[in-house]
Amino acid sequence: MRASKLLSPLLLALLLPLAPVLAKPEAASRSALVLAPTEIQAEAARWAAQFLSRSRYHYAPQKLDDALSSQVFDRYLRSLDGDRLFLLAEDVERFEAYRLALDDAILEGRLSPAFEIFNVYRQRVTERTRSARQMLKGDWDFDTEQTYSFDRKEAAWAASEEELDALWRLRVKNDILRLRLAGREMDAVRETLDRRYRNLGERIRQIDAEDVFQTFMNAYGATIEPHTAYMNPRTSENFNISMRLSLEGIGAVLSRNDEEFTVVRSVVPGGPAALSGQIKPGDRILGVGQGEDGPIVDVVGWRLDDVVDLIRGPKDSIVRLDVLPAEAGLDGEHVILNLSRQRVKLEEQAAKKQVIELGEGEGARRVGVIALPAFYQDFEGRRRDEPDYRSATRDVARLLAELKEEGVEGVVIDLRNNGGGSLTEAVELTGLFIDQGPVVQVQDASRRVSVERDRQAGKAWEGPLAVLINRASASASEIFAGAIQDYGRGLIVGEPTFGKGTVQNLVDLDLFARENPGLGHLKITVAQFFRVGGDSTQHRGVVPDIAFPVTWDASEYGESVHENALPWASIEPAKFERYGDFSPLRAELQQRHAARVAEDQEFQWWMEDVAEFRRLRESREISLNESTRRSERDRDQARREAREAQRTALGTAPVAAEPAEDALDDGLQADERPVDSVADADSEAADVLLREAAHLLVDAIDLLRADARLAARVIRKPDAMLAE
């Protein structure tokens, strides 16, 4: 057996969070109505079982037996029909014969059960789309008091065609109402929705055997652990494109939400979407057109990769997007945007600085801020030992030197929405604030522990430090923030982080192919990160010293959403010397924070938005009464206009963050994350959360300067000038 060519597990694990908009290559015609597995897929399944059931390869392997087969069965059905809108109870009852047989099917390469289930599912989708198109021709009453429940994950399977018809009448009615509220005439509404439902039927017929096999194998992989996945050859190539950062598109991360919209999850720094200022997280893409005047294709309900196909294209070409802005609500007006596709420039992703001034006149306080969007590195430049290769650590060190020259009292490192990057950068960046020592511990599948250390003497910044995090701070961000917290080197402020503390690696199954290539890749979890204090970042994430209201809690988004995520764990602490302990300050800092934000209008608005956003997420149904929906939309619009009027009267700029619309964790892109809108780091007006983080750092400085005894309890190393 040939040795597996594995990417560095640590490097790969921290690069995985970046999954920008990519497209699959042009597919061949896929018109067959009945799909069947191939011998190549059978061989790939057998090899996958070998890797995923042995501790030699996987960090948390599981025996492929009847118990696991039952879980794979349930997960596969959820992946096909998660809202239970297509399959009938009698279909599922017939499939039950396979519940305890899928383990043998995988081990023996007999994949016909998975394909039989899919073929029935495809037949039901075809029937439903045909029925929905017929329903459009009828008359509709929007004055009645009805509601549509768009979350049916726990609902019973429909017992009959009639029950499904009733469910779909509500669904179609909601689709019609949305377009009416957007200003469409009824004839145009029927035309748009007829095309949408027809396209849904056509797309389901275009799914090929590779798609089915990948979906089934991902159900198997995700049953073991959320970040274990199978990638067919086409998906593998797209992943390779993303790893090379060869991006020609709009530079955005997309997902699909419960309402079947394509949602902008985040914008890639330096990409066309970010630079245009026209696209932000939470925006929903309803249609895509080519060129400055090409027709816009309705993409509501489309598969995500099909939408990506339309958005990605040649450099300098124009893509037109029909966008429903996040702040407009579900029934708001659409906006047509033209964007020029470009390559993402590394320079635009680089760390940026600004100085926040708190107070006025001689008493003004100056706090430096460094916004770091990713832990980036020019790997090729470093390999070639180029003297000026780009890296996050080098850029931050340069910015720290500039902030010193500008006379700032303290520095805030803004890691919000930073999903990770290079482990080397996480370690070396930590080294800018500590004088040598361990940064993170890594435990492999054999439970051997290695320690990644900062070996560079000296510190680039010895003064007061705070780190701002949120739920979208993941992977390398958690390593850095956790180390700063364990050392007591800085104050951690914001929301609990994502909680991904595992390491993934890619296995090229073609290296084990007996005859024909094309088996694809496995992404498997091979190790776990632990902080220098011994705690894992897994599941719990990094908990801030001073917490802001959470936009996304553990039940909605993050590692803990997955019922089969690896549990939190701990190991022996590494040997290191703490710089300080902020716990004696927390009560007073929390009290000052509460008093200040109570008087901060922008912060109050932000908390109102978070509360409303969470209320809408918890409510899984929507009114089908047109008057009710219009009044809700008008209320939201009036609220936004009143805020803008008040900002204008006060002479302030809008800086509050709007919560993102959707969260979705889909296995391969498990670290893609919902993102709040963040003020540009070059802007003179810092956003409300960043400004409050700066206030808290100044509070800590003042408390330590005013009380020598307190400072002695907080500062443990004489050279740790936390209160300079």
β-pairing verdict for 410-414 and 365-371: parallel
CA distances from 115 to 39, 105, 229, 234, 359 (A): 14, 11, 19, 19, 66
Residues 590 and 546 sit within 8 Å (Cβ to Cβ): yes
- Annotated catalytic residue within 81, 103, 322, 486: 486
Nearest to 137 by CA among 201, 196, 194, 198: 194
Query: What ranges make up the beta strands (E) of 232-308?
Result: 248-249, 252-256, 262-267, 284-290, 296-298
500 is catalytic: yes
181: left (phi over 0), alpha (psi -120 to 50) or beta: alpha
- What pLDDT score does 379 carry? 73
For domain 248-343, the question of CATH label 2.30.42.10 is answered with: yes
The DSSP letter of residue 27 is P
pLDDT on residue 192: 92
Stretches in the chain below the pLDDT threshold 70:
1-33, 236-248, 257-259, 269-270, 329-331, 343-349, 552-556, 650-686, 718-724
The catalytically annotated residue of 500, 545, 676, 687 is: 500
The yes-or-no answer on residue 475 being catalytic is yes
Give the span between the Cα atoms of 303 and 255, in whole angstroms. 10
Candidates 710, 411, 719, 716; CA nearest to 586 is: 710
Return the ∠ at Cα 393 (arms to 19 and 716), rounded to 5°: 120
Selection from 374, 281, 329 nearest residue 662 by Cα: 281
Q: What is the CA radius of gyration of the chain?
A: 26
How would you classify the pairing of strands 318-324 and 335-340? antiparallel
Q: For residue 673, what pLDDT is reported?
A: 28
Q: pLDDT digit string (tens) for 392-444?
A: 999 999 999 999 999 999 999 999 988 888 889 999 999 999 999 999 999 99
Give pLDDT, residue 293.
87
Catalytic residue among 475, 477, 536, 560: 475
pTM over 0.85: no
Contact, 634 vs 181, CB < 8 A?
no
Q: What is the pLDDT of residue 259?
A: 62
Q: Which helix (H) or strand (E) holds 622?
A: strand 621-623
The domain limits of the chain are: 61-224, 248-343, 346-714
Q: CA 688 to CA 107: how far, in whole Å?
A: 55
Q: Report how far apart, in Å, the C-alpha atoms of 564 and of each of 524, 553, 666 are.
A: 15, 18, 14
The correct answer on CATH 3.90.226.10 for the domain covering 346-714 is yes
Q: Report DSSP state, residue 570.
A: B
User: Which residue in this structure is represented by tokens 């021709």?
Assistant: 137
The answer to whether 660 and 253 are in contact (CB under 8 A) is no
pLDDT value for 266: 72
Structure tokens at 338: 């033209």
Residue 32 has what pLDDT? 46
342: left (phi over 0), alpha (psi -120 to 50) or beta: beta
Run of H or E residues at 369: strand 365-371
